[in-house]
A and B are shown apart, each in its own frame.
Chain A
Amino acid sequence: MSAARRRHPQRRRHASLQRPQTASRPAPSPSPLRLFWVPLALTLGLLLVSFVPRVQGNSVLVQSVWAAAGGLLVWQAVLFVRLRHSSAHRSFHTILRSQHYLQATLHTAVFAYWGYFWRPVYDHVWLLVAQLLFAYAFDMLLSWSRRDSYGLGFGPFPIIFSTNLFLWFRDDWFYLQFLMLAAGFMGKELVRWQRDGKRTHVFNPSAFSLGLFSLVLIATGTTDLTWGQDIASTLTLAPNIYLFLFVIGLVAMYFFSITLVAGSAAIVLFGSSALYGAVTGVPYFIDSEIPSAVFLGLHLLVTDPSTSPRTSLGKAIFGMLYGLGVFVLYAALGAIGVPTFYDKLLCVPLLNLSVQRIDRLVRSLQDNDVIARWRPDWTTARANLVHITVWVLFFSTMTAAGATDGRHRGDSVPFWEQACAEERPRACERLIQLETNYCGDNAGWACNELGRHYAAGTIVVADRDAALGFFSQACELRFQAGCVNLLDEGAPSRADPRALDFRLLLREAGPNLLEMPEPELHARACDHGWTFACDGSTE
């Protein structure tokens, strides 16, 4: 554990122990349960949120907030009555942990930057407020249902924020968001084990609820009820998102010594991805070396110090396992036709469960003479700085090699067409996936190509209905070949992308190129391998 990590808990403990003595010694209490006004106020606050225009715009959303508030009110009433009969009292103690408020600050920075380029994030702000109010009240009541005192601090902030950085339900299903949060807090409170002589929670609370609900969403085929897919793919709308997350990550690394976890996960992912690319000739993660949402996850999801190993080697193993887990799950989920964005969410609870084994493994390795012999004479803080330096160098190298922000070879559709024609591993599958994404973005060219693939049945199983559906979509987007193909099913025709299609096809995971002048668009298309666009006459 780093010196920084060691120092902070002491400071925190002092804060929580001294403040009652110096600032607010308990006065003779008129009622041992008078603090129930706090969850009541939070619940009323939640009810008030239901009247803001953002929530009022959807009746299911309003009902979801009311149902959450109603549940909290009933719980308060029952608990109040039960405790009053037993003459019990309930209280607060303060827990001001820097890992809570600093992480919440970093999360807020990510929301602010990402939301500037993807509007639904800012539209979600009132729902974040509602979730925070719910979370505080729920956590408080859960705690008071089981013990005398509730630790008041910033704890719910990172739980809510990190959950919402990866998954939130659409308005019509938002009541499930409250249930997901409830599951996270219950997991934190109820699923505990003895670790290093202390009884502590097993799972990272947000990762626990995300993991559980991911499983349910996968099992029931209901991913569309959430924004998950959009969340995973819109981070890159923010320019230089990798650099931004890297800088954010450095702050967390400096204060919480998470460098070994995040860094080793990133190195494993970059390494595996590069190795796969070198062997097969195609990128593993379609259009990046590490998907931006995974890069976010390995900085702000998997790095909860309470649920990860405490030794340096343990952290490194933990990070490597996360990297490997994401790498394997990405392929496994893709193979069974499940959205691959779950890769970063599913393996965290499993890793949390393995923490004690990792700790034991590290202890046994440290008993080994050979390993024990090499122990640099560094303080933990100094070691952390060394780790950060290595990480900075590594990230700089990857950036210089074009593996972070900027154009990626997998952004180019002609690259995947060529790779598919050459029968490179999974290239045809990726081509279909890419064209499906672009068709979903309303690129008529991509819809027509999908129609052709389903009509021909060479790289996907032939499906006439699907082919006609995609031709219809292309036609409705005024892509002429799509309309013609609806009339003449025999030999589907194709045509080059129009300027309108290029504004989508060439976006390189960034925003659509709606303002780009056509000559520039064609030059970019030429760079992407669209040979017809290299002819000056197309300009």
Chain B
Amino acid sequence: MNQMPPPATQPDRSTSVVGLAVLATLILGVAVWMYTQRPAASILGGAGSAVPSGATPSDLPGFQPDVWYLPDDDLLGFVEIPEGPFQMGGDPTTDRQAFENERWSPTAAQGTVSLPTFYISRFEVTVAQFAAFVGATGFNVGDATLQGRPNHPVSSVSWPDALAYTRWLDATLRESPQTPPALSQLLRDSWKVTLPSEAEWEKAARGTDGRIYPWGNAARSERANYQGEGTTPVGAYLCPDCPYGLLDMSGNVWEWTRSPYQPYPYDPANDREGLGDDALWVMRGGSFTDPERNARTATRGGGDPGARRPFMGFRVAISPS
């Protein structure tokens, strides 16, 4: 390398002015650029999720885009389940596939649980419905949550995500003039949109005659999406013999409930006694990935509330507070 003695010359003064101007411009430019890039302020961090355009189409047969993509019927897809008792749990004498965790008590395979009237949604919550919630609130969801087709069940939702949707739907239905009068009256009477309890879910799935599957006592693959390849549109599997006209109670996606996972017997008055430190919450119904055994109405899954999996979704209920 050619080395020279230090120069005697002074720096070119004219370049100082230009240089300082460049420096000032650089700083100003960076400041403006950073300002435009800054994330939305949030105490919990995160800028809110964007809703993919395909998740909220202008037209979705069977659903009302202007009513948060809820089903196009009188009660926005909610079905009344009348008050009364039903048999809860799995009885291995009549159902050889019953799991041990379905046993009611050391002395009884099943128990009788009486529930007041409640309402439960005919379909699982769809991608479009959940996208309407995310669009309205900027709620942060996982990357996969809204990637499905709009009429498929939303999946990859955690238990708190599902509850957040129910809180939003509750508040929205209370305030909106589009809410059918019957639902408005329920909400005024202190009913609440939430996840179904495990007992509510089981009663809605099996009715009061203790059937093993929603349609009867034998597995029928044309009635539900289990052992399949992926999710299917909600309600795609018709089930005329299912109680209350509910669809996809078996298969498609596992459904979160608002009940903590703990041993039976189930007490509808208090299902939070003696909770363990480590949270697991009940999910029901099996999914497209599961064998027929998990598609039974009495099957209980314990889900990590933080898990977001492509086979886990939910449906909503309206229950008395």
Residues of A within 8 A of B (CB): 16-17, 19-20, 23-24, 26-27, 29, 34-35, 38, 91-94, 142, 145-149, 151-152, 173, 176, 179, 182-183, 186-187, 189-191, 212-213, 216-217, 219-222, 224-225, 454, 463, 465-466, 468-473, 475-480, 482-484, 486-487, 495, 498
User: Assuming the A-B contacts A183-B23, A483-B159, A487-B163, are A222 and B38 also in contact, with contact meaning beta carbons closer than 8 angstroms in the complex?
Assistant: yes
Across the interface, name the chain B residue whose C-beta is closest to A94: B3
25 chain-A/chain-B pairs, Cβ below 8 angstroms: A16-B6, A17-B5, A23-B3, A34-B2, A35-B2, A38-B1, A146-B15, A147-B12, A183-B26, A212-B27, A216-B27, A219-B35, A221-B38, A222-B35, A224-B39, A224-B45, A475-B159, A475-B305, A478-B278, A478-B305, A478-B306, A480-B260, A483-B159, A484-B260, A498-B277
9 smallest beta-carbon distances between A and B, as pairs: A476-B306, A91-B4, A472-B160, A146-B11, A149-B7, A220-B34, A480-B279, A469-B44, A148-B7
Q: Are A35 and B11 in touch, CB under 8 angstroms?
A: no
CA distance A407 to B66 in the complex (A): 59
Does B43 belong to the interface (CB within 8 Å)? yes
Contacting residues, chain B, for A179 (C-beta < 8 A): 26, 30
Q: Are B22 and A217 in touch, CB under 8 angstroms?
A: no
CA distance A157 to B5 in the complex (A): 22
Q: Are A92 and B3 in touch, CB under 8 angstroms?
A: yes
Does B276 belong to the interface (CB within 8 Å)? yes
Contacting residues, chain B, for A173 (C-beta < 8 A): 37
CA distance A187 to B11 in the complex (A): 14
CA distance A217 to B20 in the complex (A): 21
Does B136 belong to the interface (CB within 8 Å)? no
A154 CB to closest chain B CB (Å) equals 15
Across the interface, name the chain B residue whose C-beta is closest to A17: B5
Within 8 Å by CB of A26, from B4, B19, B258, B305, lies B4
Does B60 belong to the interface (CB within 8 Å)? no
Flag B259-295 by CB within 8 Å of A: 1 or 0 each: 0100000000000100111111100000000000000
B9 CB to closest chain A CB (Å) equals 5
B96 CB to closest chain A CB (Å) equals 33
A364 CB to closest chain B CB (Å) equals 32
Contacting residues, chain A, for B164 (C-beta < 8 A): 468, 472
Contacting residues, chain B, for A187 (C-beta < 8 A): 23
Does B31 belong to the interface (CB within 8 Å)? yes
A97 CB to closest chain B CB (Å) equals 13
Contacting residues, chain B, for A477 (C-beta < 8 A): 306
Flag B230-269 by CB within 8 Å of A: 1 or 0 each: 0000000000000000000000000000101000000000
Contacting residues, chain B, for A16 (C-beta < 8 A): 5-6
CA distance A498 to B278 in the complex (A): 9
Q: Are A19 and B3 in touch, CB under 8 angstroms?
A: yes
Residues of B within 8 A of A (CB): 1-7, 9-12, 15-16, 19-20, 22-23, 26-27, 30-31, 34-35, 37-39, 41, 43-45, 158-161, 163-164, 167, 194, 258, 260, 272, 275-281, 304-306
B303 CB to closest chain A CB (Å) equals 11
CA distance A94 to B1 in the complex (A): 11
Contacting residues, chain A, for B277 (C-beta < 8 A): 480, 495, 498
B106 CB to closest chain A CB (Å) equals 26
CA distance A176 to B31 in the complex (A): 10
Contacting residues, chain B, for A145 (C-beta < 8 A): 12, 15, 19
B213 CB to closest chain A CB (Å) equals 29
Q: Are B9 and A147 in touch, CB under 8 angstroms?
A: yes
CA distance A477 to B31 in the complex (A): 37
CA distance A469 to B44 in the complex (A): 7
Q: Are B278 and A216 in touch, CB under 8 angstroms?
A: no
Q: Are B279 and A479 in touch, CB under 8 angstroms?
A: yes
Contacting residues, chain B, for A224 (C-beta < 8 A): 39, 45
User: Assuming the A-B contacts A20-B5, A222-B38, A486-B160, are A190 and B20 also in contact, with contact meaning beta carbons closer than 8 angstroms in the complex?
Assistant: yes
Q: Are A151 and B6 in touch, CB under 8 angstroms?
A: yes
Q: Are B23 and A190 in touch, CB under 8 angstroms?
A: yes
CA distance A495 to B12 in the complex (A): 70
CA distance A76 to B4 in the complex (A): 20
Q: Are A182 and B44 in touch, CB under 8 angstroms?
A: no
Q: Are A20 and B160 in touch, CB under 8 angstroms?
A: no
CA distance A471 to B167 in the complex (A): 14
Most chain A CB within 10 A, of B10, B194, B281, B305, is at: B305
Contacting residues, chain A, for B41 (C-beta < 8 A): 221
CA distance A29 to B45 in the complex (A): 60
Q: Are A92 and B1 in touch, CB under 8 angstroms?
A: yes
Within 8 Å by CB of B3, from A20, A454, A480, lies A20
Q: Are B279 and A183 in touch, CB under 8 angstroms?
A: no
Q: Are B19 and A189 in touch, CB under 8 angstroms?
A: yes
A193 CB to closest chain B CB (Å) equals 12
CA distance A142 to B18 in the complex (A): 12
A421 CB to closest chain B CB (Å) equals 23
Across the interface, name the chain A residue whose C-beta is closest to B36: A220
Q: Are B30 and A93 in touch, CB under 8 angstroms?
A: no
Q: Are A35 and B160 in touch, CB under 8 angstroms?
A: no
Q: Are A26 and B2 in touch, CB under 8 angstroms?
A: yes
Q: Are A483 and B31 in touch, CB under 8 angstroms?
A: no
User: Assuming the A-B contacts A186-B19, A463-B43, are A149 and B6 also in contact, with contact meaning beta carbons closer than 8 angstroms in the complex?
Assistant: yes
CA distance A218 to B300 in the complex (A): 51
CA distance A149 to B16 in the complex (A): 16
Across the interface, name the chain A residue whose C-beta is closest to B29: A179
Most chain B CB within 10 A, of A91, A478, A486, is at: A478
Q: Are B6 and A478 in touch, CB under 8 angstroms?
A: no
Contacting residues, chain A, for B9 (C-beta < 8 A): 147-148
B41 CB to closest chain A CB (Å) equals 7
Contacting residues, chain A, for B27 (C-beta < 8 A): 183, 212, 216
Q: Are B2 and A487 in touch, CB under 8 angstroms?
A: no
CA distance A17 to B305 in the complex (A): 72
User: Assuming the A-B contacts A187-B23, A222-B38, A225-B34, are A466 and B44 also in contact, with contact meaning beta carbons closer than 8 angstroms in the complex?
Assistant: yes
Contacting residues, chain A, for B158 (C-beta < 8 A): 472, 476
Contacting residues, chain B, for A483 (C-beta < 8 A): 159-160, 260, 279, 281, 305
Contacting residues, chain B, for A29 (C-beta < 8 A): 2
CA distance A454 to B45 in the complex (A): 15
CA distance A465 to B41 in the complex (A): 13
CA distance A216 to B35 in the complex (A): 9
Contacting residues, chain B, for A475 (C-beta < 8 A): 159-160, 279, 305-306
CA distance A175 to B305 in the complex (A): 39
CA distance A470 to B19 in the complex (A): 49
Contacting residues, chain A, for B281 (C-beta < 8 A): 483
Additional pairs, 14, CB under 8 Å, beyond known A187-B23, A224-B39: A20-B4, A23-B3, A145-B15, A147-B12, A149-B4, A149-B6, A151-B6, A179-B26, A179-B30, A182-B26, A190-B20, A454-B43, A471-B160, A484-B260
CA distance A495 to B31 in the complex (A): 45
CA distance A454 to B39 in the complex (A): 22
Q: Are A473 and B2 in touch, CB under 8 angstroms?
A: no
CA distance A486 to B163 in the complex (A): 8
B268 CB to closest chain A CB (Å) equals 14
Q: Are B34 and A217 in touch, CB under 8 angstroms?
A: yes
Q: Are A216 and B3 in touch, CB under 8 angstroms?
A: no
Q: Are A216 and B279 in touch, CB under 8 angstroms?
A: no
CA distance A27 to B10 in the complex (A): 24
Across the interface, name the chain B residue whose C-beta is closest to A37: B1
Across the interface, name the chain B residue whose C-beta is closest to A465: B43
A230 CB to closest chain B CB (Å) equals 14
Across the interface, name the chain A residue whose C-beta is closest to B41: A221
CA distance A335 to B3 in the complex (A): 54
